[in-house]
Chains A and B, each alone.
Chain A
Amino acid sequence: MACLIQGFVTNGMAPIMAEQVHNKEKQRLWVKFSQLPATLIIGGILVGFLLCIALLSFVWTPYDPIAMNVRDRYLPIGSEGYLLGTDRFGRDVLTQIIMGARNSLFVSIISTLVSLMIGTLLGLYVAAAGGRIQNIISRTIDVGVAIPGILVAMVLATAIGPGNLAAITAIIIWFIPVAARVVIGPAVQVLSQDYIEAAFGYGRKKWFVLFNHVLPNISSTIIVQASVMFAAAILIEAALSFLGVGAQSPIASWGRTLKEAQPLMEIAPSLMVVPGLAIVLAVLGFNLLGDGLRAYLDPQQTRKR
């Protein structure tokens, strides 16, 4: 206040106006922020939190993830020194969850990125090919979409042995047709626009047009799809490691933590609650983020609904 009065004395009205303008700017930002879809904000917070935890695990975890402490077995949630309790080996559950977040994100990020890249290329190619090729590949993709990822993972686990590699490869194979199918529709639509014809008329090559004109116009669809695929990848990673087909010991994984808790459900049911909640929050975060991004990037489509 004092500084304001001083400013008033020396410069007349200017600082007050500046203050008002500043306030208005702030207000406008706040309005802009409050107009963001709630799903985007909540999803963003959940996903951001998950990312932070996973990154944190590289520099710090509450305890050594594989250290056992037989004296402190089966401590309940909220015990002193062990925020989320301990498991049957006396390992800290919070540490397991943090390490599990790292594995979950590792698997889902790699598989989603790789499959999105391949799927987008395939989708663009098919959309531009037209005619019989488009027909045949689209049909194949339709069949591919219907094949469950766990089944692919089972085949791969038999072939190359269970582990993260089998899980990641399976998710990639499972996702490629999904990504391609999402790309084909919007890409065909964009390709029928006048500016595409203009670009071709100008003498541009096919892939130049696809990358410089089609891809930017369908990027919002791809971003939303990426978020949804993250969620699906986290779910299937958990399911695979629960079945013992995914990450193997000593890599911590939410699914395996649940598997280990299953025979103990009568002694320590709380051991099952925490990893499950972690999965739910992570998947919910990415799903909400996807919904929010869809509403934010493509408002017309959402308003129609």
Chain B
Amino acid sequence: MIQKPTNLSSMQSTSRRFFRSHKVQQLRGFISQFFVLLLSALIGSLVVFALLRLLGGDVAYILLGNEATQDQVNSLRSELGLDRAWFVQYFDWIKGFFTGDLGTSFSGSYEIFDQIGQRLIPTLLLAFGSLFVSISLAIILGTYAAMNADNAKGVVTDIVSQVGTAIPAFWAGLILVVVFSVSFGWFPAGGYVPIQEDFWGSLRSIFLPIVALSLGITSVTTRFVRSAMLDVLNEDYIRTAMAKGCTRKRAVFVHGLRNASIPVVTVGALQLGNLLAGTIVIESVFVIPGLGQLLLTAVNGREVIVVQSIVLVILLIILVMNFMLDIAYGLLDPRIRDKRNGANHG
């Protein structure tokens, strides 16, 4: 009954097997993810560029005011390079962005690229510091809440996280400054000590901002960890582990955490965007010379190139993190990886 495969079809199936093999599929997934990353960055930069050009009106007019003559406006336009075609301006910007030459700001007070580079460090310290703090805390608190879901301890954790979600980071920052800087004098009320100059002083200066930023993110993530953990706790393998003699705690920490970590990683990476946005506000509260402060001054001074460059930097950070998240998924859960790559585990 079973037909012997002909030579041709067996060759086909070999090549098909090659293309369906694990490594190749993984590589293909990787490449397509990377392609999505590039495409998103391209579209994002174009949208930002177009928004600022179309809605923004003529920067030269805004800078010179209403009383400027047409000649003045024209000479400023050519000086700033605004009289060139839009795609020339766009490619010039993108080229400058990657080669490190974005020119000086309209007010002429700083080199845009160098300034962004300097300002990036405190912002990244704040964002990743709070990401680390809040994810670690959230895993602990969320697991605690899930294990105590049916008693008072869990309810208290729930209420605290619910309230924490509602507290805006900048208000938390203001209150922290009033309590710990103005009243107790334990921490500086604002400013930033560069980390390369004084490590401990630097940590002291970013401690309160990180606490303020982490509060909301920790609360949100705790709620996700809790519900992910509750789902996991109902799974058969936890019961099996406990039937084999594991304690409940051990079952949760050994088998539960890795399974619950997938939603946590998703939320954590999605929070990075919120965190970077949060740093903009927090930098304003604590007067930290980061990207956010630069962005705010640029917005008020209509520094179009500065705004679009900073937005592109933040966009790239978010996109790269999402890209890494997609890879992390596969490492955390082989099922997702195989499903995405079309392999069949049966």
Interface residues of B in 271-313 (CB under 8 A from A): 272-274, 276-277, 280-281, 284-285, 295-296, 298-300, 302-304, 307-308, 311
Closest to A280 in B: B166
Number of A positions contacting B (CB below 8 A): 47
Interface residues of B in 50-72 (CB under 8 A from A): 51-52, 54-56
Contact, CB under 8 Å: A162 / B318: no
How many whole Å from A42's CB to the nearest CB in chain B? 10
Q: Residues 173-185 of chain B: 1 if any A CB is under 8 Å from the residue's CB, otherwise 0?
A: 0110110001000
Query: What total count of A-B pairs have CB within 8 Å?
Result: 137
Docked-complex contact B277 and A150, CB < 8 angstroms: yes
Majority secondary structure, B binding face: helix
Q: How long is the Cα–Cα vector from A280 to B298 in the complex, in angstroms? A: 30
A124 to B79 CA separation, bound complex (whole angstroms) = 49
Given contacts A143-B322, A155-B48, A159-B55, contact A284 B162 (CB under 8 A): yes
What does DSSP make chain A's interface, helix, strand, loop or mixed?
Answer: helix
Q: Which residues of A contact B170 (CB under 8 A)?
A: 238-239, 242, 258
Question: Do A276 and B295 touch (CB < 8 A)?
Answer: no
Are B298 and A238 interface neighbours, CB within 8 A?
A: no
Find out whether the CB atom of A258 lies under 8 angstroms from the CB atom of B166.
no
B307 touching A146, Cβ below 8 Å? no
Inter-chain contacts of B115 with A (CB < 8 A): none
Residue of A nearest to B322 (CB): A146
A272 interface residue per 8 A CB criterion: yes
A218 contacts the other chain (CB 8 A):
no
User: In the complex, are the beta carbons of A276 and B168 less than 8 A apart?
Assistant: yes
A276 / chain B contacts, CB cutoff of 8 Å: 167-168, 171, 174-175
Is B322 a contact of A159 with CB atoms below 8 Å? no
Residue A266 CB within 8 A of the other chain: yes
Interface residues of B (CB under 8 A from A): 36, 40, 43-44, 48, 51-52, 54-56, 162-163, 165-171, 174-175, 177-178, 182, 227, 230-231, 270, 272-274, 276-277, 280-281, 284-285, 295-296, 298-300, 302-304, 307-308, 311, 314-315, 318-319, 322
14 residue pairs of the A-B complex, CB under 8 angstroms, read A140-B43, A146-B318, A147-B318, A151-B276, A154-B280, A155-B307, A162-B300, A231-B166, A244-B300, A279-B168, A280-B166, A283-B166, A284-B165, A287-B165
- Partner-B contacts on A (CB < 8 A): 139-140, 142-143, 145-151, 154-160, 162, 231, 235, 238-239, 242-245, 258, 261-262, 265-266, 269, 272-273, 275-276, 279-281, 283-284, 287-288, 291, 304-305
